[in-house]
């Protein structure tokens, strides 16, 4: 899979390239700032873009803004942004994208190489992926605000978290060691309880759940 990465920190850029090459990806360009990133995408037409949020020159959120710009001219290009820390807004801005194939992961996920590569492949395949820690944060916040959420059983809350992370019903079943049918029952109960519109599309499902949690 042809991939372009954006990371300003040289060591980390090399490390990331290394990890991805080992994971079977083809890193065609590694940009060190937002402009380079845009140029690299135009030049190489990659199948996936992975970028750090914080980039030069101001070291704020240039990486994210560049990624969103690129998505506007290439709406189908899957994009994963990496963040040093949790920030609800980043997740929400990314998920405001009309089309599937976005991911928001904490940088520390790179350390778990297999899971990281797996997440990248899922985004490439059209899923929307949120870091579990982001989901935990959203859930914790939502629990204090929404009575409906407190009425869910612990198992249902686990299912909801995995839905928000962008897992399919089959993946949720595997993660919780239950049948896919049991997962479907849980999800329909969750839809009823939270008054969410049922959806089979993974991206829309994440969108609905996150919108509910972040509201």
Q: Which residues lie near other proteins (CB under 8 A)?
A: 53-54, 59-61, 84-89, 108, 111-112, 137-138, 140-141, 144-145
C-beta of 159: minimal distance to other proteins in Å? 22
C-beta of 59: minimal distance to other proteins in Å? 7
The region, left, alpha or beta by phi > 0 then psi within -120 to 50, assigned to residue 177 is left
Angle at 213 between CA 212 and CA 215, to 5 degrees: 70
What tokens were used for 60?
């704020």
Residues paired with residue 20 on neighbouring β-strands, in sequence order = none
CA-based nearest residue to 105, from 96, 122, 175, 97: 122
**Cα-Cα-Cα-Cα dihedral sign, residues 90, 91, 92, 96:** positive
What tokens were used for 37?
């990133």
Q: How far apart are CA 140 and CA 127, in angstroms?
A: 24
C-beta of 144: minimal distance to other proteins in Å? 4
Q: How far apart are CA 37 and CA 10, in angstroms?
A: 15
C-beta of 197: minimal distance to other proteins in Å? 25
CB-wise, 157 or 168, nearer to other proteins?
157
C-beta of 54: minimal distance to other proteins in Å? 6
């Amino acid at each position: 899979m042809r991939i372009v990465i954006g990371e300003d920190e040289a060591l980390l850029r090399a490390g990331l390239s290394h990890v991805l090459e080992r994971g079977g990806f083809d890193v065609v360009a590694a940009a060190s700032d937002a402009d380079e990133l845009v140029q690299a995408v135009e030049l190489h037409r990659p199948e996936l873009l992975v970028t750090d949020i914080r980039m030069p020159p101001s070291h704020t959120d240039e990486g994210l803004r560049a990624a969103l710009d690129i998505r506007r001219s290439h709406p189908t290009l899957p994009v994963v942004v990496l963040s040093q820390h949790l920030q609800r807004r980043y997740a929400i801005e990314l998920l405001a994208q009309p089309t599937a194939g976005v991911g928001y992961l904490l940088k520390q996920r790179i350390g778990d190489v297999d899971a990281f590569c797996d997440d990248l492949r899922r985004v490439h395949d059209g899923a929307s992926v949120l870091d579990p820690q982001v989901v935990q944060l959203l859930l914790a916040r939502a629990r204090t605000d929404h009575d409906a959420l407190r009425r869910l059983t612990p198992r249902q809350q686990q299912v909801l978290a995995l839905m928000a992370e962008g897992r399919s019903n089959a993946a949720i079943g595997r993660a919780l060691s239950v049948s896919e049918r049991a997962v479907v029952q849980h999800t329909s109960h969750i839809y009823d309880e939270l008054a969410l519109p049922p959806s089979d599309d993974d991206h829309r499902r994440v969108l609905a759940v996150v919108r509910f949690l972040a509201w």
